[in-house]
Each structure stands twice: as structure tokens, then as C-alpha cells.
Amino acid sequence: MSQHLTPPIRRALLLTSLPVYILLYAPLALIAVFSFAPAPGGTAAGLHWYDALLHAPNVLAALRRSLTLALGSSILGTVLGTLMGFGLSRFRSRARSGFAAALPSLIIYTPIIMPSLVFGISELIFFNLMHNATGLFAAGLLTMGIAHVTFQAPYVALVVFARMAGLDPNLFEASHDLYANGRQSFLHLTVPVIRPAIIGGFLLAFTLSIDDFTISYFTAGPGSTTLPIYIYSAVARKGISPDINALATLMIATVIGIGLLQYGFTRQKDRLAVPRTGD
Amino acid sequence: MTEATLPIRNTQGPDGAAPRGAIRLEGISRVFGGGIVAVDQIDLDIRAGEFFTLLGPSGCGKTTLLRMIAGFETPDTGRILISGREMQNVPPHKRAVNTVFQSYALFPHLSVAENIGFGLRMRGVAKAERLARTEQIMALLQIDAFARRNPAQLSGGQRQRVALARALVNEPEVVLLDEPLSALDAKLRAELQVELMRMQKRLGMTFIFVTHDQHEALVMSDRIAVMERGRMLQVGPVLDVYEQPRSVFVAEFLGLSNIWKFTPRPGNVAETALGALAINTRIDTQRTAMIRPEKIWLYPEADAPRDRPNTFPGVVREAIYMGASTQYNVELPGGAIVLALDTNNQAAERSWGPGERVVLELKPGNIMLIDG
């Protein structure tokens, strides 16, 4: 496509896209640079603020909570999301047209496009009601976990659903034709062929959880401060300090790392794709 | 290996009468949502060990019929018997039937050998036997060199062989083939047609082949069924269906044909657009005459046969050279166009170009009468 563009247009596009990239990545780079700021009174740039993080019990506790929450909710969210994506793709292949055919996408996308503010408030109200009624569901890591699973599952479902939609529907018939019952077909065909999507979905769920502030904030209770909540309150209290920069830089590095992993799995998905017919 | 059967396999019908691999369809219908009748009251007997082809245009119901035999679709009425066993409540994975899909549907996460061994693995066949049988079938189909490859690394023809091997290795009673050659180029298709036939005769399994390609049907089948709009128009040995089509649709779908409506005249004469045609068979209620292009004799104007019935002078409008034969579209004085096919075995002295005058002879014995 780009080869059809005349040089002036190409230059214009470059000039307009450059600021976009700068706006996207410069703040991130800035935080990373500031995180290496010298210690108070010192002059040498270095890992001082990273070292300070390691000796801040509040930060470490928040990190531990964030990781526990992310891991636990991602596992559950991935299991539920996978089943959801699989089930909805089956439903879609049966529905022929109209509303029924659009329903699975609707079910998946509605929670995804829901503003997290609305999502968080509704979860808060729901947990309050449940707590008053049953005495369970006290605000804390558990309610946060449930809330995280609820918003992670549709994302995982979306990834799995997309993978299923890209598969030859005859594959499943072929497995039954070759004597696999429902359980065997799921274990020996479905799970292996959607495995890249499941892993990709898990990593996505993990990043979403680690990074979530809004929904976590509404569903958190005493003693369930996660990293994003800690950062928010620290910034609110004393403004941006270099240790927050260090923390943010670590989070950026983690997310980029997970992103690369996910990319690797998506590429594996391409290798698995078999052209349907012909040479 | 033809005789080998697995112990879990039901080899005989309950009454012991129906042979292994025979299929009976009784009053099978399938109506889809929106009232589309895909299959309409079909009765059919397919013999054990037969190469049977369902031929028809797309949407005629042939694939739906195949899918009902496989168990992917349930008939709304009627019953299906495979080897004498009623299939009413038998799910696909319990039917001794294997399908070769048009898309091949090879499992992308498994190697060629694992794809082929899948059916045996699902039935719990011991690993040693599984490997032995997989190797045997791969050798038979000459795909042993790719055993460890992924389906994505194979060419279309190789994938087709793997799909076939994956079905055959299970030694099913019936193999269902849903347009398995349609994605291949002409030369490869011709090769695989012969190979499929050879494999079927060698293994003695019943093959039910679905195609819209009349040539493919003619080449491979013992018997064919021509389908249109969910019904079977004609079932029979290839030769019978080709030589004696019972309807205009069958005549036109299978091969080339010249078809004329006629009015009966006394003395077994049919009055057609060409003029009066002498007919060998007794004219009854039929009102359509048909003759295959290859059964029309062509003569140079000079040595046209005198005093023989059904000779017509005409002018060649198009000469379509097809290598082994040439198709001549000949216009008669009345304006009717007649298709005549001539083999190119006599070269120069018996070939004509556009505008040249020829004489056609339609021997009475070669003219078929069709109802309607």
C-alpha cells in the first residue's frame, strides 16, 4: 500500500505519526530515566531507588498481594474464559443467522466495553448486598479476586473464541468420525489446538489484573492494598517520588516481557494453522 | 489386511443377513430451517464393497445424505441401516464409518503419523498395533516419507492421501468421501482417481463418493445415483445411466447430449426441430429424443451415405479441438444446432473447419427416447 503513496504524502504521514509515537513512548522513557535518579544528597545516578523499594515493607506487601491476586484470578479467569469461548463458538456454529448468531459476540464484548468505573461500582454494590445478606463477601482480596475473574474471563473468551472461529469446523466432526467421544475430542483435539490461545489469554488476564486500578479500588477492603492502589495513594499523599518511578519502570518491564511472551504464542498459533484446501 | 477386523467391530447385522458394509436407506428425508428440503424421501441400497457415487449439482442434497450416513445429521424421517444395523441412535463415534472431508480436516497439532493413528488411539488399540497399522497404510499410500511432518508442511495431494489413510487405517465398513479431489489440479486429480479405485478394490470396503463432477463419477464408480433437489433421479451402473438416461436432467448432467422435443408421427417417426427422425424403439408416451454427440456420424458432403434414414446436411459453425477428439457444432438448414463429436484418428481427410459443409447421420439405434 505504501508504495502507491507519493513522497510528499509519505513525508506528511511521517510527520504526523512521529508526535503520536513520541506521546506514546516518551512518558514511559521519562519515568525510566527518572527512576535512576541519584539518592537524596547524592549526585551519582544509579539503582538507589530500586534498592529503596526492596527495603520498603509496604511496597513488598503490596507487590505480593498483587501477584497473588493476579495469579489466582488469572488461573480461574482462564479456565472460565476458555470454557466460555469454547461454548460460545459451539453455539455460534449452530445458530444460523440474525440475533442468535450475534449473541455470543454480544455476550463477550459487553463486559469488555463496559467502563471499568461502572463495572467497579456495580461490583461494590453487589458485594455489599451479598455481605449484608450472607455475612460472606467482606471486601478484601477475595472480592477483588472475584471482580478480577469477572472482567478477565471475557478477554480470555475473546481470544479463545477467535481461535475457534479460525479453525476448520470439520476438525471437530473429523474427531468424532474417528471414534472420539465428546470428552476425548475436547482433550485430544480442542485443548491442544486452542492451547496457544489459552496461554495467550492467561498472560493477557495476568497483565490486566496486575495493572487494574479502578475495579480493584472499588472492591478492595482493609489490608488488601495492591500495587496500583499503593502507587495511587502514595502519589496522592506525597506527590511523585523517585521510588514510584522505579516501581513504575519495573511494571513497564514486566508488562513488556509478558507482551513479548504472548506474541511468541500467537506466532505459534500461525504455525499451527493449516490452509483449508489446495496447495 | 482386507480380512483383518478389530474385535470391537460389529461385523454382522443382527439377523446375520446383511453383509458387512452394505447400506440401506429407507424413506430418508431432511428438512432444514426455513422449510428447505435437502433430502426428500430417499430409498437406496448400496451393496457391500461397491464404489457408489452420489452425483449432482451443488445443493442437490448429496452432501447432506453423506453426513446423515456419517451421523453428523439426523434424518427427519426414515431409517439408515449400515451392515444391517439400525443407526437411529448411534452417534458418529460409534459408527464403523470413516469420512474423507473436502477440506481434509487434518489435525493441525499432530504429525502425519499421529493424524493417521488418531482413530486407532481413540478406540484404545494398543500402541504397537497402532504403529504397525499406521506404517502399513502409509506405505500403501506412499506417504511414509512424511510421517513426521505437520499437515501444514504438505502439498494438497499429500494432504489428500493423509486424509484417505486416516480413514482407511481403521478398516471401516464404509468410507465416505465428500468431494475429496475438488481442490486438486487436473493431473493430480486424474492420478488420485485411479489410485482411489485401486485402493477400494484392493481393500474391498464400500466407498460412497460425493461429487458434482460427472467425469469423476464416470471414471470411478461401479454405480452412480444422479441427484437433483433432494431426490434421486436415476440409480444404476455407470454405463446404464450414461447410455439410457431416463430424464432430460440426467442426460444433460452426465456428458454432452443433443435433446429435442418431438411430435410422434405414424411409423415410429419423431417430428423434431431437425425434421423427421426414424426411431428404432416404439414411441409410447415419450416426447423427447436424445442422442449423444459421439454417436453421430460425420461425412464429407461428397461421400455422404445415400438412401439411409436420418441423414442431414449442415454447416460447421464451430470446431472445438480437444486433443483426442473434436466437437463440431453443426447448423442445419432449419437453424437447429447439432453437437457431434469425432475422434481425431484420421486427421486431415476427416476434419472440418467453420463454414465447411458436412453430412450428419443419426442412426435410429442411437437415438434414445426420454419421458417428458
Examine the pLDDT at B81 and tell me if it is beyond 50. Answer: yes
Q: In this predicted structure, what is the pLDDT of residue B348?
A: 59
Per the model's pLDDT, the better-predicted residue between A114 and B53 turns out to be B53
Among B249, B281, B298, the domain-final residue is B249
Percent of chain B with pLDDT over 70: 94
Q: 0.90 cut: is pTM over it?
A: no
Find the CATH number of the domain harbouring B65. 3.40.50.300
- Radius of gyration, alpha carbons of chain A: 23
Q: Do the Cβ atoms of B108 and A274 come within 8 Å? A: yes
Examine the pLDDT at B12 and tell me if it is beyond 70. Answer: no
Find the CATH number of the domain harbouring B349. 2.40.50.140
Q: How far apart are CA A218 and CA A205, in angstroms?
A: 19
Comparing C-alpha atoms, which of A46, A29, A28 is closest to residue A37?
Answer: A46
Examine the pLDDT at B187 and tell me if it is beyond 60. Answer: yes
Identity of the amino acid at A8: P
Does B184 contact chain A (CB < 8 Å)? yes
Does B170 map to a domain?
yes
Examine the pLDDT at B132 and tell me if it is beyond 60. Answer: yes
Does A271 contact chain B (CB < 8 Å)? yes
- The full 3-state SS of A30-55, as one line of letters, equals HHHHHHCCCCCCCCCCCCHHHHHHHC
Find the CATH number of the domain harbouring A121. 1.10.3720.10
Among B195, B219, B249, the domain-final residue is B249
Residue B76 cell numbers, joined? 427427519
Does B5 map to a domain?
no
Examine the pLDDT at B4 and tell me if it is beyond 50. Answer: no
Residue B346 cell numbers, joined? 484420421
The partner residue sitting opposite A279, judged by closest CB among B91, B151, B155, is B155
Does B14 map to a domain?
no
Split into its structural domains, chain A has a count of 1
- Cβ contacts (< 8 Å) between A96 and chain B: which residues? 33
Q: How far apart are CA B32 and CA B162, in angstroms?
A: 33
Examine the pLDDT at B28 and tell me if it is beyond 90. Answer: yes
Q: Are residues B157 and B62 in the same domain?
A: yes
Q: Are residues B77 and B166 in the same domain?
A: yes
Residue position matching grid coordinates 503520536: A20
Q: Are residues B76 and B189 in the same domain?
A: yes
What's the rounded mean pLDDT across residues B65-76? Answer: 95
Q: In this predicted structure, what is the pLDDT of residue A277?
A: 41
Q: In this predicted structure, what is the pLDDT of residue B11?
A: 43
Q: Do the Cβ atoms of A273 and B102 come within 8 Å? A: no
* Structure confidence by residue, pLDDT tens digits, A167-206: 888 999 999 999 999 999 999 999 999 998 999 999 999 9
Does A195 map to a domain?
yes
Q: Are residues B190 and B286 in the same domain?
A: no
Which class for A206: exposed (0-12), middle (13-18), buried (19 or more C-beta within 10 A)? buried
- Cβ contacts (< 8 Å) between A175 and chain B: which residues? 107, 118, 122
* Structure confidence by residue, pLDDT tens digits, B195-254: 899 989 999 999 999 999 999 999 999 999 999 999 999 999 999 999 999 999 999 999
Q: Which of residues 69-108 of B touch A (CB under 8 A)?
A: 70-72, 91-94, 97-99, 101-108
Q: In this predicted structure, what is the pLDDT of residue B371?
A: 86
Q: Residue B347 — pLDDT band, cuts 50, 70, 90? A: low
- Cβ contacts (< 8 Å) between B99 and chain A: which residues? 173-174, 177
Q: Which ranges of chain A have pLDDT less than 50?
A: 1, 269-270, 274-279
Q: Are residues B333 and B364 in the same domain?
A: yes
Q: How far apart are CA B240 and CA B351, in angstroms?
A: 31
Does B302 map to a domain?
yes
Does A28 map to a domain?
no
Q: Which domain holds residue B351?
A: 262-370
Examine the pLDDT at B16 and tell me if it is beyond 60. Answer: no
Q: Do the Cβ atoms of B101 and A174 come within 8 Å? A: yes
Q: Are residues B155 and B58 in the same domain?
A: yes
Q: Do the Cβ atoms of B156 and A279 come within 8 Å? A: yes
Q: Are residues B132 and B168 in the same domain?
A: yes
Does B211 map to a domain?
yes
Q: Choosing among A167, A168, A172, A177, which should be mutated to test the B contact, i.e. which has the most B CBs within 10 A?
A: A177
Split into its structural domains, chain B has a count of 2
Q: Are residues B276 and B341 in the same domain?
A: yes
Q: In this predicted structure, what is the pLDDT of residue B351?
A: 83
Per the model's pLDDT, the better-predicted residue between B15 and B85 turns out to be B85
Examine the pLDDT at B5 and tell me if it is beyond 60. Answer: no
Does B118 contact chain A (CB < 8 Å)? yes
- Do B57 and B212 touch, CB atoms closer than 8 A? yes
Among B249, B275, B301, the domain-final residue is B249
Q: How far apart are CA B69 and CA B61, in angstroms?
A: 13
Residues in chain B: 372
Pairing of strands B275-278, B36-46: unpaired
What's the rounded mean pLDDT across residues B282-291? Answer: 90
Per the model's pLDDT, the better-predicted residue between B349 and B333 turns out to be B333
Examine the pLDDT at B49 and tell me if it is beyond 80. Answer: yes
Q: In this predicted structure, what is the pLDDT of residue B310?
A: 92
What's the rounded mean pLDDT across residues B272-284? Answer: 89
Does A17 contact chain B (CB < 8 Å)? no
- Bridge partners of B252? none
Does A171 contact chain B (CB < 8 Å)? yes
Q: Which domain holds residue A183?
A: 35-271
